[in-house]
A and B are shown apart, each in its own frame.
Chain A
């Protein structure tokens, strides 16, 4: 079987938003979104020593190749990078369209996502991609098992756990509690350089530039503002009287 894992290359360290484009500044160093490492790990675990194929797929700038190489070094078999200047600034509607097009070319039995992007805090993309691929979707999976053509996942919700079954092909977003991602070995890092790596443009996907990037998006960013301050935030060191200081604070706020 074939397992596709969607991964994102995110800025490393403290991110900032470029005030002119109002987009996240992606000019600095980046890394594999750590939540996606859980999805790569799960794919490798499901593959085990079978002859299944794990293909990692990303939409991003040319530098996103670094994150795909890391996934290859962890053990993925092949990488696909969708990279095109006209795709920059894609929102959910446009991103899901491009990723779904790339995934259609793969016809994977299982598509995996991590639980969120650490840069934009997005935690919804899988559901949009599943809708475009017309496949069942399960998110927040804390456990995934495969039994022939049936997938079984344990979804963690606000109320407890649901065990959900779906026939393959399916889309699953795994939670970061599902596993501990492995570190790439030196052999893995060396081997990653020789693994198949395709870079696709919008043209390769058969998507018109008007359906990607800002042109293909339905949301916009109007302004960047400072966050509202927490007013008179205070920080004290305990000198033996901290309990009294907290009580006074509670009294002042009329909370006791």
Chain B
């Protein structure tokens, strides 16, 4: 039951989603759970992986691995798996991890199940399909199994794990794996609390009517102590920065509370927030798809309801 988890880092931080997958793996693996960290700061981050349940951490951080590109990571993972015989590989979905998972599946002729939200101890994956109207039990017919989890599927919980064994990996990189190069990067800095780490997210869509009406979302977020998110439609329209975009091509969040203001709930947005604990939505269109996955749906005008709600919350918090 040996399991290998790919941890993804950005700058100096291991990403919460991949630590969540490691936390889950630690409950499945009979103790034989390892993590692999590739690229920037890999060695320095290994100890932290131990506290989330990795008994062993494979690290690879040569110059050719510094950029967040998928194909060199396939080379590293393939080597670790071939030499150590891991039966299951688990990854948290991201633009990078999805390409790593599929490249690895082709390299090893290994089965890949994606968009999983859970996995059982006998390795049955749970996958919502057809706009989450069906939950499919999926399996693997051979090992290694590759499992790609929807972001936000598991909480990252540090345990009293000890110092992990750190193993340096030096993999030979394939010519096609090193052909692509990142020549420029534009980082979008967000202001205020990070929407990925916030317990409460208030997000706005087209239904806010105009860019200046994002102040409704900002005021409510402030009163609740949360962060502000936005749909792709309003980001594309230039109403709000890309760093706040929630959805398929933006951030995936799973806060305790998600408040959707004037958001229709298109699939592009839904995949970015559907794992939220409690969803409240306000939309004047009674047929908006967002109501199908809201715990509390309010058919009404955001411009009337939100200022009142913000005021009531302020009074209550007093």
Binding site for B on A (CB under 8 A): 15-17, 22, 91-93, 96-97, 115-116, 120-132, 134-140, 152, 155-167, 170, 175, 177, 217-228, 230-238, 242-247, 249-251, 253, 255-256
Query: Are A127 and B98 also in contact (CB < 8 A) when A177-B249, A222-B124 are?
Result: yes
Interface residue B158 (Cβ < 8 Å from any Cβ of A): no
* B183 with A156: CB separation less than 8 A: no
Q: Across the interface, which residues of B come within 8 angstroms of A221, CB to CB?
A: 136-139
* B106 with A129: CB separation less than 8 A: yes
Majority secondary structure, B binding face: mixed
Tell me which of A130, A163, A164, A249 contacts B280 (CB under 8 A): A249
* B180 with A161: CB separation less than 8 A: no
Complex CA gap A68/B35 in Å reads 43
* B176 with A134: CB separation less than 8 A: yes
Interface size on B, residues (CB 8 A): 93
* B99 with A245: CB separation less than 8 A: no
Query: Are A160 and B304 also in contact (CB < 8 A) when A127-B99, A227-B132 are?
Result: no
Majority secondary structure, A binding face: mixed
- A sample of 16 inter-chain contacts (CB < 8 A) reads A17-B130, A93-B110, A127-B100, A129-B106, A130-B103, A130-B176, A136-B71, A160-B185, A161-B185, A218-B109, A218-B111, A237-B286, A238-B298, A243-B305, A249-B295, A256-B317
Binding site for A on B (CB under 8 A): 10, 68-71, 74, 94-96, 98-103, 105-107, 109-115, 124, 128-130, 132-142, 148, 174-177, 179-188, 200, 224, 232, 236, 242-243, 248-252, 256-257, 278-280, 282, 286, 291, 293-301, 304-306, 308-309, 311-313, 316-317
Complex CA gap A87/B107 in Å reads 20
Residue of B100, B280, B301 with highest tally of chain A CB at under 10 A: B280
* A136 with B179: CB separation less than 8 A: yes
Interchain residue pairs A-B with the least CB separation, the first 8: A238-B300, A218-B111, A243-B308, A124-B102, A127-B102, A131-B106, A136-B179, A128-B106
Question: With contacts defined as CB atoms under 8 Å apart, how many contacts are there between chain A and chain B in the complex?
Answer: 265
Q: Across the interface, which residues of A come within 8 angstroms of B137, CB to CB?
A: 221-225
Tell me which of A135, A218, A228 contacts B135 (CB under 8 A): A228
Q: Across the interface, which residues of A come within 8 angstroms of B128, CB to CB?
A: 227
